[in-house]
Amino acid sequence: MIVPVTLLYPALTFYGVQSTLFEAFRHILRPRFYPGTNDTSVHLAVHPRCGSLTGNFSDVNAGLDMRRYKTIVSFGDSYTDGGRRDGGPLVPPVVIPPDPFAGGRSTNGKVWVEHLAEEAGATLLDYAWSSAVTNITLWPDNPFPRDFIMQTTIFLNQSHHLDPETTLYTVFFGINDWEDSFVDGNHLPQAAEDLLGQIALLSEPPTNARDFLITDVYGRGIHNTWGESWVQSVFDGLVKLHTQSFPRVNVAFANFATIWDGVLGSNPGYKAFGYVSTDACNPGSTTAASCPDPDHYFYWFYGHPSRVTHKIMADYVNEVLDLCRVL
């Protein structure tokens, strides 16, 4: 008897174990494009490394379903900053030279979480702020007093009444903490505790958040022991929150390092994604300089993804949520 692929899917992902059979069917199960796909040749050329809720960190989805969400609340740094920072409506993602920031964003279009919200038909409340860290007190030499604690405080002081069943909370920190660790020492273990502490705070009354998506790309193609330990600590904390909470807190982890390693490394390399260069299309970050081909460059300005890269980041998250389900 021929078993339909749709019936195989739950069994193949049971407890996050990727069997050889699952890998064989993966290209069938994975949607090739998601709504709002890039209108250029740039596309996702790597895919999630799904795992389980035990052992080393991996891409996992323990209970998230994008079809349920009417609201997405986002916290983070410049990679998630939509230009508003107080949860209000974002301005159009348009670059008006000489300003290189599309409506205040550190890119030339929408950031990744805007794509998620748009594809889900959800309202986005964005509190992310460029240069933010998890807890500014850990990094005395950081000149920007912006952190996760400040963002959650702003959100909580607004006294929203969001339905926990239809609200997704996204958290994206690590880049600035990791860079600050080279100046102020390795306080990343404490940073991981503080990040998890804010997530726990949001899961308690009055917010009672139940669904969290955590993403990371701390070294943007560079890896070290401190950074890997940071990711593992965050991952372990999320697993603990998911398995020991009541009511159950659903979590997902998407490791954007797979994209950065794929683009900046040789396997498969930037050309496989449709990029013409791994450089920044706009070398400066203060003016919108002449950029010959903005929709085929990995970065918009130094270290900050272009709009097409933000789209494939959203595609990656969608694949994690689709393919890396665990019980």
pLDDT at 156: 98
- Element at 272 (helix H, strand E): helix 270-273
Where are the strands (E) in 9-70, listed by range?
60-62
Amino acid at 240: K
pLDDT at 28: 37
pLDDT at 1: 33
Q: Say if 13 falls within a structural domain.
A: no
Q: Say if 134 falls within a structural domain.
A: yes
pLDDT at 26: 39
Q: Which residues form the domain of 180?
A: 57-323
Q: Say if 155 falls within a structural domain.
A: yes
Q: Say if 27 falls within a structural domain.
A: no
Q: Say if 242 falls within a structural domain.
A: yes
- CATH number, residue 274: 3.40.50.1110
Domain count, the chain: 1
Amino acid at 95: V
- Residues forming a β-bridge with 216: 255
Q: Say if 98 falls within a structural domain.
A: yes
Residue 201, sorted as left (phi over 0), alpha (psi -120 to 50) or beta, turns out to be alpha
Q: Say if 44 falls within a structural domain.
A: no
- What distance, in Å, lies between the first and last C-alpha atoms of the chain? 27
Instruction: Give the whole-angstrom CA distance, residue 215 versus residue 32.
Output: 22
Question: What's the token pair of residue 69?
Answer: 């969400």
The tens-digit pLDDT sequence of the chain (327 residues) is 333 333 333 333 333 333 333 333 333 344 444 454 566 689 999 999 999 999 999 999 999 999 999 999 999 999 999 999 999 999 999 998 888 899 999 999 999 999 999 999 999 999 999 999 999 999 999 999 999 999 999 999 999 999 999 999 999 999 999 999 999 999 999 999 999 999 999 999 999 999 999 999 999 999 999 999 999 999 999 999 999 999 999 999 999 999 999 999 999 999 999 999 999 998 776 666 778 789 999 999 989 999 999 999 999 999 999 999 997
Q: Say if 283 falls within a structural domain.
A: yes
- Element at 110 (helix H, strand E): none
